[in-house]
Chain A
Amino acid sequence: MSEALTLELGNYLDVGIDETDKIIPREITSVKSNKDVNEIIEPKSIIEINNELGTSFVNISSLEIPIEILKKKTRELVISSLADKEETIIEERKKLILKEYSGGLTKNEKLKVKYYSWLLDRIEDAQNGEILDHFEKLVKQQETIADNVISNINMINKAIKNIGK
């Protein structure tokens, strides 16, 4: 088993991720597995969760892969399968683009250009996607802060007006 990624249970139970990407398993007071279920499911995949709302059961085998993990795992896969082929793909694509300007491309060649571009996008995403995602998150945070500030200013202005009345 690879140590590729480790997550605490909280994320899978939709408990949430805070600003620093740390999983906060709040609301769960105890978790234990329960094998005595009458369905066909993977053994040891049912867990019992006790919190202030009572007891509930979650089948972790049916849980979908969260998008953050999906991205990370796909990037790992692309790095392992395509990183050493990048030069070849660039060359092949370049040849076809030059051909397009000299005499046009057949339908199949046009599809190849699209396909090579898609592969190069995958490689770029695998190499730089994580940093770009991080920047995107920062921008969103800034936007949320800006929205909050504007909303607070409006509230204050409204309050001032009301005092004036």
Chain B
Amino acid sequence: MYWMDNLLVTPVLGINYKTNLRTAFKYKEDIITSIINTNGDNEFDIKLNKENPIAILLFKKDGFNIQIDQQNTFVSYKYPILQKRKAGMLPIIETSKIEKYTQLLEEAKKHLKYFWSIINQNEIIKIKRIGMMAICNIEKSAIPPGLELLIEHCNKPWNEKIDAIDGSIVANIRKGDGYYEKCHHIIKYKTIEDENKTQESEVIFNLDYQRYYNELCEIQNNKIEENINEFVKVSLEYFEKFGQGDLNYE
């Protein structure tokens, strides 16, 4: 029962790596071949970037986006906004059914593993870091207890309550064997009421958990699933801990 499953939260899951242009061009070709071979029902829209010849952007109809270039491969999700057109009428815009964060994350993991196995098939790519985000679209009245505690904590140096928070806190979370982990807490929150209470009552709150390897790390294809699963588990544990307020605020 993760707190993120009860709010409109979407994932980003990605790998940052070091490669050379020759390898990057090779895997770009492999990915396009793979998409063409498996894209029978036009599941993906492919977009290429004029400025970066290696970058590929894949838009899946269900809202998943996969971006691959010479440094990053990441999967993100955005609720698709679709247009329905009727002759002589304005377009109708639809949003899709809302899914739980953990469900979306499972799908993101599958996509990342699939594309990473293609990228990594000819030459083992050296990984710099892995990251996972929780992008929270929250209404002010629904902020989780942990964020409320952090805001209260930020109030402490002053006699009166602060009006707004706008920024990012990068915290060192833990060290493991050959890596260290940080979490970016990106918060934009106004405690004062706006006169025009519309979009302003929304809160920007994103968590971005990153694992940095001390040295460039090689992960074989048969180990990538295990590694991603373990990383996602650790990140989720921290997100949950933060959201429930289980940090030392004293």
Residues of A within 8 A of B (CB): 1-10, 12, 25, 28, 31, 33, 38, 40-45, 47, 60-61, 63-67, 69-71, 73-74, 76-78, 81-82, 85, 108, 111-112, 114-115, 118-119, 121-122, 125
Q: Which residue of B lies closest to A88 (CB)?
A: B1
Q: Given known contacts A70-B139, A74-B7, A81-B100, is B81 in contact with A31 (CB within 8 Å)?
A: no
Are B6 and A38 in contact, with the CB atoms below 8 A?
A: no
Residues in chain A near residue B95, CB distance under 8 A: 4-5, 65, 69, 73
Are B6 and A78 in contact, with the CB atoms below 8 A?
A: yes
Are B100 and A60 in contact, with the CB atoms below 8 A?
A: no
Count B interface residues, CB 8 Å: 44
A125 to B93, CA, bound (A): 26
Residues in chain A near residue B201, CB distance under 8 A: 67
A67 to B138, CA, bound (A): 9
Chain A CB within 8 A of B238 CB: no
Chain A CB within 8 A of B145 CB: yes
Residues in chain B near residue A85, CB distance under 8 A: 1
10 contacts between A and B (CB under 8 A): A43-B45, A65-B8, A66-B199, A70-B202, A73-B8, A77-B5, A111-B244, A114-B145, A118-B3, A122-B142
Residues in chain B near residue A66, CB distance under 8 A: 199
A41 to B202, CA, bound (A): 25
Are B94 and A1 in contact, with the CB atoms below 8 A?
A: yes
Are B142 and A125 in contact, with the CB atoms below 8 A?
A: yes
Are B6 and A82 in contact, with the CB atoms below 8 A?
A: yes
Report which of A3, A4, A12 forms a contact with B98, defined as CB distance below 8 A: A4
Other than A5-B95, A111-B145, give 18 A-B pairs with Cβ distance below 8 A: A1-B97, A7-B92, A12-B81, A28-B90, A42-B45, A42-B65, A60-B81, A61-B81, A63-B81, A64-B199, A66-B199, A74-B7, A74-B8, A74-B142, A77-B7, A78-B6, A108-B246, A111-B245
Shortest Cβ gap from B138 to chain A (Å): 8
Are B94 and A77 in contact, with the CB atoms below 8 A?
A: no
Interface residues of B in 68-89 (CB under 8 A from A): 78-79, 81-84
Instruction: Give 4 closest A-B pairs by Cβ, nearest first.
Output: A2-B97, A114-B145, A77-B98, A73-B98
Interface residues of B in 29-48 (CB under 8 A from A): 45, 47
Interface residues of B in 217-247 (CB under 8 A from A): 244-246
Q: Which residue of B lies closest to A64 (CB)?
A: B199
Are A10 and B90 in contact, with the CB atoms below 8 A?
A: yes
Complex interface: stretch among B49-57, B164-172, B206-214: B49-57
A63 to B80, CA, bound (A): 11
Q: Given known contacts A73-B8, A115-B244, is B142 in contact with A6 (CB within 8 Å)?
A: no
Shortest Cβ gap from A20 to chain B (Å): 17
A115 to B97, CA, bound (A): 26
Most A Cβ at <10 Å: residue of B8, B84, B93, B100: B93
Shortest Cβ gap from B159 to chain A (Å): 25
Shortest Cβ gap from B119 to chain A (Å): 19
